[in-house]
Amino acid sequence: MNKKERLEKIRRFVTDYQIGTQEEIVEHLKEAGISATQATVSRDIKELGIVKIPLKNNTYIYELPKTIVRSLQLAENNIVGSERMGNMINLNVIPGNTAFVKSQLVNAFSERIFNCLADDNSILIILRNEEDAKEIFEQVKKW
Protein backbone atom coordinates (compact mmCIF):
# COMPACT_ATOMS: atom_id res chain seq x y z
CA MET A 1 0.00 0.00 0.00
CA ASN A 2 1.27 3.42 -0.83
CA LYS A 3 0.71 6.65 1.07
CA LYS A 4 -2.18 7.83 -1.11
CA GLU A 5 -4.05 4.57 -0.51
CA ARG A 6 -3.40 4.79 3.23
CA LEU A 7 -4.69 8.36 3.32
CA GLU A 8 -7.84 7.29 1.45
CA LYS A 9 -8.42 4.47 3.95
CA ILE A 10 -8.01 6.86 6.88
CA ARG A 11 -10.40 9.33 5.23
CA ARG A 12 -12.97 6.53 4.84
CA PHE A 13 -12.52 5.22 8.41
CA VAL A 14 -13.03 8.69 9.86
CA THR A 15 -16.12 9.19 7.68
CA ASP A 16 -17.65 5.75 8.31
CA TYR A 17 -16.85 5.19 12.00
CA GLN A 18 -16.70 7.22 15.19
CA ILE A 19 -12.97 7.14 15.79
CA GLY A 20 -11.63 8.69 18.97
CA THR A 21 -7.93 7.78 18.99
CA GLN A 22 -5.04 7.38 16.60
CA GLU A 23 -4.61 3.84 17.93
CA GLU A 24 -8.10 3.01 16.63
CA ILE A 25 -7.03 4.20 13.19
CA VAL A 26 -3.88 2.06 13.40
CA GLU A 27 -6.11 -0.94 14.25
CA HIS A 28 -8.52 -0.26 11.37
CA LEU A 29 -5.55 0.00 9.01
CA LYS A 30 -4.13 -3.27 10.38
CA GLU A 31 -7.49 -5.01 9.77
CA ALA A 32 -7.37 -3.69 6.19
CA GLY A 33 -3.89 -5.18 5.76
CA ILE A 34 -2.00 -1.90 6.06
CA SER A 35 0.89 -1.56 8.48
CA ALA A 36 1.31 1.91 9.98
CA THR A 37 2.65 3.31 13.23
CA GLN A 38 0.86 5.81 15.46
CA ALA A 39 3.43 8.44 14.44
CA THR A 40 2.65 7.86 10.74
CA VAL A 41 -1.08 8.10 11.43
CA SER A 42 -0.50 11.33 13.34
CA ARG A 43 1.26 12.87 10.32
CA ASP A 44 -1.50 11.56 8.01
CA ILE A 45 -4.20 13.13 10.20
CA LYS A 46 -2.44 16.46 9.99
CA GLU A 47 -2.00 16.19 6.21
CA LEU A 48 -5.68 15.31 5.71
CA GLY A 49 -6.76 18.22 7.89
CA ILE A 50 -8.74 15.92 10.18
CA VAL A 51 -9.97 17.61 13.35
CA LYS A 52 -11.24 16.37 16.72
CA ILE A 53 -14.76 17.41 17.62
CA PRO A 54 -16.43 17.10 21.03
CA LEU A 55 -19.46 14.89 21.63
CA LYS A 56 -22.14 15.47 24.26
CA ASN A 57 -20.66 12.81 26.57
CA ASN A 58 -17.34 14.72 26.92
CA THR A 59 -15.50 12.47 24.48
CA TYR A 60 -13.96 13.45 21.15
CA ILE A 61 -13.99 11.90 17.69
CA TYR A 62 -12.01 12.59 14.54
CA GLU A 63 -13.87 14.21 11.66
CA LEU A 64 -13.02 15.49 8.22
CA PRO A 65 -13.52 19.19 7.65
CA LYS A 66 -17.08 19.85 6.42
CA THR A 67 -15.92 21.01 2.98
CA ILE A 68 -14.19 17.68 2.28
CA VAL A 69 -17.19 15.68 3.51
CA ARG A 70 -19.54 17.72 1.32
CA SER A 71 -17.39 17.25 -1.80
CA LEU A 72 -17.18 13.46 -1.23
CA GLN A 73 -20.94 13.26 -0.74
CA LEU A 74 -21.51 15.28 -3.90
CA ALA A 75 -19.38 12.84 -5.90
CA GLU A 76 -21.01 9.85 -4.27
CA ASN A 77 -24.55 11.13 -4.88
CA ASN A 78 -23.88 11.64 -8.60
CA ILE A 79 -22.88 8.05 -9.48
CA VAL A 80 -25.99 6.18 -10.62
CA GLY A 81 -24.42 2.94 -11.87
CA SER A 82 -21.14 1.14 -12.35
CA GLU A 83 -19.65 -1.81 -14.19
CA ARG A 84 -16.17 -3.36 -14.31
CA MET A 85 -14.47 -5.27 -17.11
CA GLY A 86 -10.86 -6.35 -16.59
CA ASN A 87 -8.82 -3.29 -15.68
CA MET A 88 -11.59 -0.83 -16.64
CA ILE A 89 -14.48 0.68 -14.68
CA ASN A 90 -17.39 2.47 -16.31
CA LEU A 91 -19.45 4.82 -14.15
CA ASN A 92 -22.84 6.19 -15.14
CA VAL A 93 -23.18 9.68 -13.71
CA ILE A 94 -25.98 12.22 -13.52
CA PRO A 95 -25.59 14.25 -16.76
CA GLY A 96 -23.39 17.31 -16.41
CA ASN A 97 -21.59 16.15 -13.27
CA THR A 98 -18.83 14.00 -14.71
CA ALA A 99 -16.10 16.65 -14.45
CA PHE A 100 -16.64 16.95 -10.71
CA VAL A 101 -16.82 13.17 -10.11
CA LYS A 102 -13.77 12.61 -12.31
CA SER A 103 -11.84 15.17 -10.27
CA GLN A 104 -12.74 13.35 -7.03
CA LEU A 105 -11.71 9.98 -8.52
CA VAL A 106 -8.38 11.31 -9.77
CA ASN A 107 -7.70 12.93 -6.38
CA ALA A 108 -8.45 9.66 -4.58
CA PHE A 109 -6.77 7.17 -6.92
CA SER A 110 -4.35 9.06 -9.20
CA GLU A 111 -1.38 6.73 -8.76
CA ARG A 112 -3.48 3.71 -9.74
CA ILE A 113 -5.24 5.28 -12.75
CA PHE A 114 -3.72 4.95 -16.22
CA ASN A 115 -6.33 7.21 -17.80
CA CYS A 116 -9.79 8.55 -17.06
CA LEU A 117 -12.15 9.58 -19.88
CA ALA A 118 -15.42 11.42 -19.32
CA ASP A 119 -18.32 12.58 -21.45
CA ASP A 120 -21.56 14.20 -20.29
CA ASN A 121 -22.95 11.22 -18.36
CA SER A 122 -20.26 8.54 -18.05
CA ILE A 123 -16.69 8.06 -16.94
CA LEU A 124 -14.35 5.32 -18.15
CA ILE A 125 -11.52 4.67 -15.72
CA ILE A 126 -8.63 2.61 -17.05
CA LEU A 127 -6.56 1.26 -14.18
CA ARG A 128 -2.95 0.12 -14.30
CA ASN A 129 -3.93 -3.46 -13.50
CA GLU A 130 -6.95 -5.65 -12.86
CA GLU A 131 -6.31 -5.89 -9.10
CA ASP A 132 -6.48 -2.09 -8.77
CA ALA A 133 -9.70 -2.12 -10.80
CA LYS A 134 -11.27 -4.70 -8.47
CA GLU A 135 -10.34 -2.75 -5.32
CA ILE A 136 -11.41 0.66 -6.64
CA PHE A 137 -14.64 -0.77 -8.08
CA GLU A 138 -15.54 -2.15 -4.64
CA GLN A 139 -14.74 1.20 -3.00
CA VAL A 140 -16.76 3.19 -5.53
CA LYS A 141 -19.73 0.81 -5.17
CA LYS A 142 -19.88 1.80 -1.48
CA TRP A 143 -20.12 5.48 -2.41
- Provide the percentage of residues in the chain whose pLDDT is more than 90: 44
Write out pLDDT tens, residues 96-131. 888 888 888 888 888 899 999 999 899 999 999 999
Q: Do residue 62 and residue 84 come from a single domain? A: no
Q: Do 7 and 15 touch, CB atoms closer than 8 A?
A: no
**Mean pLDDT across the stretch 6-19?**
87
What pLDDT is attached to residue 75?
64
Indicate whether 57 and 110 sit together in one domain.
no
For residues 82 and 74, the model is more confident at 82
Q: Are 86 and 98 in contact (CB under 8 A)?
A: no
Task: Say if residues 1 and 29 touch (Cβ distance below 8 Å).
Answer: no
Mark whether 63 and 88 lie in a shared domain.
Answer: no
Residues 101, 51 share a domain: no
Based on the domain organization, do 62 and 87 belong to the same domain?
Answer: no
Q: Could you list the residue range(s) of the whole structural domain that residue 105 is in?
A: 75-141
Number of domains in the chain: 2
Backbone torsions φ then ψ of 84, nearest 5 degrees: -120, 140
> Residue 106 maps to which CATH number?
3.30.1360.40
For 34, what's the count of Cα atoms within 13 Å in the CB-facing half-sphere?
Answer: 22
Residue 80: phi, psi to the nearest 5? -105, -10
- Mean pLDDT in residue range 27-35: 92
According to DSSP, the β-strands at 51-54 and 88-93 are: unpaired
Whether residues 79 and 137 fall in one domain:
yes
Reported as a pLDDT band with limits 50, 70 and 90, residue 80 is: confident
CB atoms within 10 A of CB 110: 10
Q: Spell out where the chain has E strands.
A: 51-54, 60-63, 79-85, 88-93, 113-118, 122-127
What is the tens place of the pLDDT at every residue in 46-66?
888 888 877 777 788 888 766
CATH code of residue 26: 1.10.10.10
In whole angstroms, what is the distance from residue 10 CA to residue 56 CA?
24
What is 75-93 written as a DSSP string? Answer: HHHHEEEEEEETTEEEEEE
